[in-house]
Amino acid sequence: MRFRDAGRTAGQELGPRLMEWASDGELPHLVVLARPRGGVPVAAEVARVLGAPWDVLVARKAGLPGRPETGIGGSWTTPRPCSTSGPLEGPV
């Protein structure tokens, strides 16, 4: 099945599926993190459905020598991801 706006549609379908899990009280400080290149539309819709803040986590891929398309890890430049409401608390 093809969607006109796959990222947004995926987020609209994923959000309600996560609603029960997120609303059981075990995630009191829920923040949805998105990765660029496709993750932003999904995360925006999931965050909208869950009523949670969201932010973009820009990571740099650590590639495999000789195989530039293969990622074996990643890192980001800030010490901790930040949300629109400030630094994230807890393990990240």
For the entire predicted model, the pTM comes to 0.62
Percent share of the chain, pLDDT over 90: 0
- What's the rounded Cα separation, in Å, for the pair 87 and 84? 8
Average pLDDT over residues 6-27: 79
Q: What is the CA radius of gyration of the chain?
A: 15
pLDDT the model gives residue 6: 73
- What's the rounded Cα separation, in Å, for the pair 80 and 29? 16
**Mean per-residue pLDDT over the chain, rounded:** 75
pLDDT the model gives residue 3: 58
- What's the rounded Cα separation, in Å, for the pair 81 and 7? 22
Q: How many CB atoms lie within 10 A of CB 58?
A: 12
Instruction: With cut-offs at 50, 70 and 90, classify the pLDDT of residue 2.
Output: low
Instruction: With cut-offs at 50, 70 and 90, classify the pLDDT of residue 25.
Output: confident
